[in-house]
Amino acid sequence: MTRSRIALAWLPLHLFLIIAVCSRQLLWLIANGLTIIPFSGADVSAQTAKDISTTAGPKRTRAAKEALFAYLHSAGIEGAYGFFAPNVPENFKLAFEFRNADGSVEYDLPNVESRAAGLRLGSLLDKIGRSDSEQYRRILIRMLTSVAWENHPAAVSVHAVFGKLKLPSPVDYERGVRPAYEFIGAYDFERSADSNAR
Amino acid sequence: MVERLFPSCSDRWLSILRVGLALQLILYALSIRADWRYLLAGTGRGLVSRDLAEALLSLESAIIPRLGWIVAVGKRIGFSEATVLDLTWYGLALVSLFLLGGLFCRPAAIAAWFLHLCCVKGGGLVTYGVDALTTIGLFYLMLSPLPDRLSLDHLWHKKLSNPQSLGFWRRVLQLHLCVIYFFSGLIKALGGDWWNGINLWRALIRPPFDLIPADVLIRFKYIFPIAGIAIFLLEIGYSCFIWQRQTRQSWLIAILLMHLGIGLSMGMYLFAAVMIVLNLAAFGPGILWRENRPADAESCEAASLA
């Protein structure tokens, strides 16, 4: 009986959190003009982001927010369910150009062993590509570069190029347009001081 | 209301969820075995730093389970990070096997949820939808009234769960799936390119999901707008039509076929598998096949009422 009462009290709260997280994501998409609904409310989305921040506020409030976030993550309900929605995201790619001391050049890509890990690598590149923070993007690209560098011990510098794949529509494809990579940014790292990113 | 939330049901759905998620975890572990250390290592030793992912996680909450906790405990004992990562993989595989056989169901379910969550949060930068959905399934499995009648635990103890409690946790899973599909479909409907089929085309030709050559796909270009609209209508309608006696079977079969199609045409096998497992557990018994109410379930119900 007690268990049933606890379950009855928990369920509405749990469902409320699931719906709240999904609704927040939906409103964020609408506010940022990513849907067919004509609405622009960047201030609203900024305010929402500020509201959920756990880095500020009174200690008690912060503890409550931390507990809430821990619950959301533990239950797997911290994110919304917009898979390939509202639109299919761009596909991003990172390529390396390793330069040896003798002037020769070697090309490489970030790689993994299995297809399953390949999907995860693709997810990482998507996160890098979608990030608004140039600093965050640079940090992650530097990490990926330093891993790839291990396969090129003779290289003294590397030129990392980050780009996105522009996909044609079916009509354009029939006209002969093919998927093509579009330049987003380039990053140069030196062997001695690889923090000198351009 | 209470009757609807606590319907009496057999534990068939729980068996499907337990076995399905155990297989899912085994496939997850095997699929990235070769890259396990590479994906989950700390700064300077892997593809991307686990420490960075966990530092970002700490901005949200310091008490979310993560792999760093296990690595820290391992280091205190004297194990290297690589050893701890390997032990975590073996631990996950072992508890998945326990779960598969139904041996020590509850501790195995809790351990599977915890280890999987730690790996997902530790590898936060290299995760995608399948990880959250597996966490959801494991979270409900851990809380559900285990063991079920197909488990080894049941063979030994012969202890059965209260049918109302089984019904409640099945209902929770059902409601959660309805919310997932409703929002997934709604957000798709709000993206203009699902109406004209371009998004479906883009999803299929986008690496690494481009298993079918674009030259083959273009022959079916007239189907894309219909299929695009059908997908979001199927998802939005799920929360309504899965409950109607006349439509629930066809709706469930259509959703299962959609996930099968995604798995085969885009190579998202794990994603397709976890969605099929969750759907079969939530709605399979009683819709796809008759839900038997064995005598001992009824006696258990009678006992609980008494």
For residue B24, the model assigns a pLDDT of: 97
Q: Alpha-carbon distance B273 to B254, whole Å?
A: 15
Flag whether residue A184 sits within 8 Å of chain B, measured between CB atoms: no
- The nearest CA of chain B is from the CA of A13 a distance in Å of 12
* Residues A57-72 pLDDT 10s: 677 788 999 999 999 9
Q: Is residue B163 within 8 Å of residue B300, measured between CB atoms?
A: yes
Phi and psi torsions of A8, nearest 5°: -65, -35
For residue B296, the model assigns a pLDDT of: 47
For residue A1, the model assigns a pLDDT of: 66
Interchain contact, A112 vs B135, CB within 8 Å: no
Given B46, B59, B192, which is nearest A55 (Cβ)? B59
Q: Helix B50-60 crosses helix A134-149 at what angle (to 10 degrees)? A: 160
Interchain contact, B218 vs A173, CB within 8 Å: yes
Q: Which residue of chain B is at minimal alpha-carbon distance from A11?
A: B172
pLDDT averaged over every residue in chain B: 91
What is the pTM (predicted TM-score) of this model? 0.91
For residue B163, the model assigns a pLDDT of: 82
pLDDT band at B306 (very low <50, low <70, confident <90, very high): very low
Q: Is residue A97 within 8 Å of residue A155, measured between CB atoms?
A: no
Q: Which residues of chain A lie closer than 8 angstroms to B132, CB-CB?
A: 76-79
Q: Is the confidence at residue B185, as pLDDT, over 90? A: yes
Q: Is the confidence at residue A43, as pLDDT, over 50? A: yes
Interchain contact, B48 vs A37, CB within 8 Å: no
- The nearest CA of chain B is from the CA of A105 a distance in Å of 23
Q: Which residue of chain A is at minimal alpha-carbon distance from B174?
A: A15
* Residues A112-166 pLDDT 10s: 889 899 999 999 999 999 888 889 999 999 999 988 988 898 899 999 999 999 9
Q: Which residue has the higher pLDDT, A99 or B4?
A: A99
3-state secondary structure of B230: helix
Interchain contact, B187 vs A26, CB within 8 Å: yes
pLDDT averaged over every residue in chain A: 85
* Residues B120-158 pLDDT 10s: 998 888 999 999 999 999 999 999 998 999 999 998 877
Annotate B245-256 with DSSP letters as a single string. TTTHHHHHHHHH
Given A8, A81, A167, which is nearest B202 (Cβ)? A167
Q: Which residues of chain B lie closer than 8 angstroms to A29, CB-CB?
A: 187, 190
pLDDT band at A50 (very low <50, low <70, confident <90, very high): low
For residue B303, the model assigns a pLDDT of: 39
- The nearest CA of chain B is from the CA of A101 a distance in Å of 24
What is the value of ipTM here, to two decimals? 0.91
Q: Is the confidence at residue A177, as pLDDT, over 70? A: yes
- Average the pLDDT over each of A13-27, B151-165, B195-209 and give the range with the smallest value: B151-165
For residue B299, the model assigns a pLDDT of: 42
Q: Alpha-carbon distance B221 to A107, whole Å?
A: 36
Cβ count near B43 (within 10 Å): 13
Q: Is the confidence at residue A44, as pLDDT, over 70? A: no
Show Cβ contacts of residue B186 under 8 Å, excluding neighbours closer than 6 positions. A26, B232, B236
Residue to substitute from B199, B202, B212, interface A, most A β-carbons within 10 A: B202
Cβ count near B299 (within 10 Å): 11
Partners of residue A161 on adjacent β-strands? A95, A186
